[in-house]
Structure 1
Amino acid sequence: MTGTLVNVATVIAGSILGLIFKQRLPRRVVTVVFHGIGLFTMGLGVSMFLESQWIITVVLSLLFGGITGGLLRLEERVENMSENIKSRFRFTDERFTEGLITSFLLFCMGSLTLLGAINEGMGQGPELLITKSVLDGFSSMALAAAMGVGVLFSVIPLLVYQGGITLLSMWLGDFFAQSVVNELTATGGVLLIGLGINILNLGKLKITDLLPSLLFVVLFAWMQYRQIFPFSLF
């Protein structure tokens, strides 16, 4: 868990610096930064999606994930939770929820996150996650300057998600074959593309409702890897 704890610390530090800069930057500069983040998010999403070798697993995962998330009303529940946090801490940031979700997805959907967490869990050291921590520290500065304090609170799902993968890989390391990681990365890339669309105000997609796709893609990709049910036949 060393790598994840270092990652959390750098995001906290970067977010605090970003919030300080936000108070001193003109509104037009913050808007330009916001647009840059949106374009970067879409570009990153496309590059991640191209890692897919079994596109049908991504499609099926988004389908089943969307149905599950819609039935559970995840988007609505997360928004309500965020509003409760805002009320409890008396925040006035209108982009609180967007900042939290955007930061979590950007920090956690990349292959570096997955490979780093798996490597540390399998006893190969936290070097990848420490490298990622440096990148996330600078990213959190820009995100916090554009989106506010919600970025700081993204460390909570970051700790749960990334730390959870590390702990799971301690017992189930063989489950996370490279092909499974590729499909998980590709599915995360699709979510980032949708997130970029939201950031740029090109639409309003319920990305949170699609988060269960990340669970389904691990199952489907593992089944494909083990040839339990070869999705490539369809």
Structure 2
Amino acid sequence: MVLLGTIVNGVCIIVGSLLGKLLHRIPEKLKGTVLHAIGLAVMVLGLQMGFKSGNFLIVILSLVFGAVIGELLALEDKLNQLGKWLERKIGSSNQGSIADGFVNATLIFVIGAMAIIGALDSGIRGDHDVLYTKAIIDGFTALILTTTLGIGVIFSVIPVVIYEGIIALFATQIDHFVPKEIMDSFIKEMTATGGIMIFAIGLNITGITKIRVANLLPGILVVAIIVTIIHFYHLFF
């Protein structure tokens, strides 16, 4: 079943969020410290991913052009509007803004190599191990995030399942028209580019700054374009 890994990932996010809702009676100081700890861990994860680039100029160009596209499309605003719409439909959360929980969790769960690589493995080889591992990590992360950011975290399951599901279904045919060299290069540079975005999420979670990370997301698409151009035109930066 091509979508099995995606479904398991979604279920773990839901279960983790519900458990986090049950464990919400945690002192505010503890919540704040835990949230900062998550932010620091996310920052380190992002740095580790960022250092995996084989050509950092690709990462820089992807982030710059991705930021321009994202700002023009106002992706961050649209994501926040969706979160606010959910908040109006469900009601405000005593723990925090539903929109904040939804946006932050969505960015953490969607951005990164595991989501893409895992979905590709599911579609190409029918191997769900990467997504199973991601599901466990996301479940624990959802639990912690829900205790600090509120029940809005649970709604991140919608974009996560759609995102991974589309990639998995697309991947069933991808090896027929995408050369392995391009795919390997894309995964490496996408990992690094996504790592920078994840580092920015960590900065946001700790409250150090407020970067509109969602507006950087088109950078992932830009990576694919640049890698393809380099491959077919034999360009070297």
Secondary structure of the equivalent of 2:233?
A: coil
Secondary structure of the equivalent of 2:37?
A: helix
Change (3 A) 1:96 1:228: farther
**Structure 1 range deviating more: 172-181 or 142-151:** 172-181
Kindly provide the CA deviation profile for residues 72-120 of structure 1, in whole angstroms up to 9, marking residues without a partner as x. 1112222122111100111235432332232223223332322221111
Change (3 A) 1:189 1:53: same
Measured in 2, the distance between the counterparts of 1:194 and 1:127 equals: 27
Measured in 2, the distance between the counterparts of 1:67 and 1:166 equals: 28
**Structure 1 range deviating more: 200-209 or 99-108:** 99-108
Change (3 A) 1:112 1:208: closer
Measured in 2, the distance between the counterparts of 1:110 and 1:65 equals: 15
1:167 corresponding residue in structure 2: 169
Q: Which runs of 5+ in 1 are unaligned?
A: none
Q: Which runs of 5+ in 2 are unaligned?
A: none
Measured in 1, the distance between the counterparts of 2:112 and 2:77 equals: 25
Kindly provide the CA deviation profile for residues 172-200 of structure 1, in whole angstroms up to 9, marking residues without a partner as x. 13356222111111111111111111111
Select which of 9, 12, 15 maps to 1:13: 15
Measured in 2, the distance between the counterparts of 1:128 and 1:48 equals: 16
Residue 48 (structure 1) aligned with residue 49 (structure 2):
yes
Displacement of 1:229 in angstroms is: 5.6
Displacement of 1:58 in angstroms is: 1.1
Select which of 204, 209, 222 maps to 1:216: 222
Residue 32 (structure 1) aligned with residue 33 (structure 2):
yes
Contact 1:49 1:187 in 2 (8 A): yes
Change (3 A) 1:229 1:94: farther
Secondary structure of the equivalent of 1:177?
A: helix
Pairing of 1:1-234 with structure 2 (within 5 A): 1-22=3-24, 24-92=25-93, 94-173=96-175, 174=178, 177-224=183-230, 226-228=231-233, 230=235, 232-233=236-237
Contact 1:109 1:185 in 2 (8 A): no
Name the % identity: 32
Which portions of structure 1, spanning 4 or more consecutive aligned residues, are displaced by more than 6 angstroms? none
Kindly provide the CA deviation profile for residues 18-72 of structure 1, in whole angstroms up to 9, marking residues without a partner as x. 11111x2111111111001110111011001011112111111111111111111
Amino acid at match of 1:65: G
Q: Calculate the aligned-residue CA RMSD, in Å.
A: 1.7
Q: Scaled by the length of structure 2, what TM-score is found?
A: 0.91
Measured in 2, the distance between the counterparts of 1:214 and 1:73 equals: 16
Secondary structure of the equivalent of 1:154?
A: helix
